[in-house]
Amino acid sequence: MKLFGTVESFDETKGQGLIKPEESGKTAVGFEKSAISWENKTPPPVGKRLSYDLSETGGETRAINLQNA
C-alpha cells in the first residue's frame, strides 16, 4: 500500500532524510538516499510530496521506494 508524505529534511552529508506522513498523528519516517526510485537519485527538496512504502528491519521503520507523487 502506497503512503504519501512531504520531505521534512534531508542531510546531504549523511544521505538521510525524514518524511512527514500525510496521515495525522503519525511520526516522521526516516529514509536513505538509496531508497530514491527516480533515475538520477537527486535528493528531494524540503516540502516535496512523495509516495513511499514502509519497511521494518531490526525494529526500525524506514521509508523505501520513494517516488514523486
Which domains are seen in the chain, by residue range? 3-68 (2.40.50.140)
Question: pLDDT of 27-67, one tens digit each?
Answer: 999 999 999 988 888 889 999 999 999 999 889 999 999 99
pTM, 2 dp: 0.88
HEC string of the chain equals CCEEEEEEEEECCCCEEEEEECCCCCCCEEEEHHHECCCCCCCCCCCCEEEEEEEEECCEEEEEEEEEC
